[in-house]
Amino acid sequence: MINAKEIYYILLKAYGQPRWWSDDPFVVMLQSVLVQNTTWSSVEKTCAMFVNQLTPEYIEDLSTEELEQIIRPCGFYKAKARTIQALTAWYRKYHFDRQAVHEVPMPRLRKELLSIRGVGAETADVILVYAFYKASFIIDAYTRRFLFRLGYNFSDDTAIKLFFEKELPEDAQFYGWYHWLILEHCISVCKKTPKCDICFLNGDCRQKLPK
């Protein structure tokens, strides 16, 4: 089977330079909560309703009811509002300073994020990588599906993280790019019903559908 580095360069050749989530750490935090159990288009529509006021100070000034009303289109709005407020309070402890957060060791930051209700491992790692440039490989449903189809059978997400992190440079930007390439491939080709006939990984895939 092809290894983690080989997969990355195959995806990179196919899709080119990956995108980054956002340059604004608070936008990453907010969107990583909103996108849970919904579509990215719903998140974009909801964020547009903030009218260029996606700042932690603005969220702090909103009442719970006001925040719930704005994010309602993303579903689970009561739970998500609670999580967004808790994340904002967490960020306030660092004076809304990205550099102050970045200087904290990754394991401690991850533990702090996971202690917030509504922040699971995937959300925590998205925030660590894309908001604060801390190296913690992101495992999501796309990654699990993609690797399973390539023939890998991991016991849990910890094993998947180890698969990537033991072979790749410990670099948050690299992790973020890799995650985006997997996302791109799974949205366009390796879907729930995959387009195996156009997949450039067909020769390496153990789950490919017959043509």
Sign for the CA dihedral angle at 165, 166, 170, 171 comes to negative
Contact by Cβ (8 Å): 135, 171 = yes
d(CA 115, CA 172): 22
105 closest CA partner among 137, 138, 139, 134: 134
Percent of the chain with pLDDT over 90: 82
Q: Both tokens of residue 207?
A: 């789950």
Q: In this structure, are 66 and 150 located in the same domain?
A: no
Four-point Cα dihedral 167, 168, 170, 171, nearest 10 = -170
Angle at 139 between CA 136 and CA 146, to 5 degrees: 135
Token look-up 């995650």 returns 179
- What is the average per-residue pLDDT within 86-112? 98
Which has the higher per-residue pLDDT, 202 or 182? Answer: 182
pLDDT score of 6 more than 90 = yes
**Is residue 209, in this structure, part of any structural domain at all?**
no
Calculate helix-pair angle for 172-188, 141-149, nearest 10 degrees.
Answer: 70
**Is residue 66, in this structure, part of any structural domain at all?**
yes
d(CA 30, CA 78): 14
Q: In this structure, are 76 and 147 located in the same domain?
A: no
Q: In this structure, are 96 and 51 located in the same domain?
A: yes
pLDDT tens, 126-172?
999 999 999 999 999 999 999 999 999 999 999 999 999 999 999 99
Q: pTM of the prediction?
A: 0.93
Radius of gyration of the chain, Cα coordinates, nearest whole angstrom: 18
The CATH number of residue 91's host domain is 1.10.340.30
Domain membership of residue 161 as a residue range: 4-19+138-198
Q: In this structure, are 115 and 54 located in the same domain?
A: yes
Domain end among 132, 162, 181: 132
Token look-up 């059978």 returns 153
d(CA 79, CA 145): 27
Spell out the alpha helix ranges (H) of 116-156: 121-126, 132, 141-149
Q: In this structure, are 42 and 121 located in the same domain?
A: yes
Q: In this structure, are 70 and 166 located in the same domain?
A: no
Token look-up 């980054």 returns 20
Look at the chain and report how many structural domains it folds into.
2
Q: How far is CA 35 from CA 74, 75, 185, 191, in A?
A: 7, 9, 19, 18
Q: In this structure, are 122 and 47 located in the same domain?
A: yes
- Give residue 52's pLDDT: 67
Amino acid at the residue 117:
R
Q: In this structure, are 70 and 126 located in the same domain?
A: yes
d(CA 5, CA 3): 6
pLDDT tens, 172-193?
999 999 999 999 999 999 999 9
- Give residue 51's pLDDT: 62
**Is residue 208, in this structure, part of any structural domain at all?**
no
- Give residue 47's pLDDT: 80
Domain end among 132, 152, 186: 132
**Is residue 204, in this structure, part of any structural domain at all?**
no
| Most confidently modeled range among 38-47, 50-59, 65-74, 94-103 | 94-103
- Give residue 210's pLDDT: 53
Half-sphere exposure of 50 (CA within 13 A, CB side): 20
Q: In this structure, are 12 and 41 located in the same domain?
A: no
Q: In this structure, are 52 and 120 located in the same domain?
A: yes
Contact by Cβ (8 Å): 168, 160 = no
Q: In this structure, are 42 and 89 located in the same domain?
A: yes
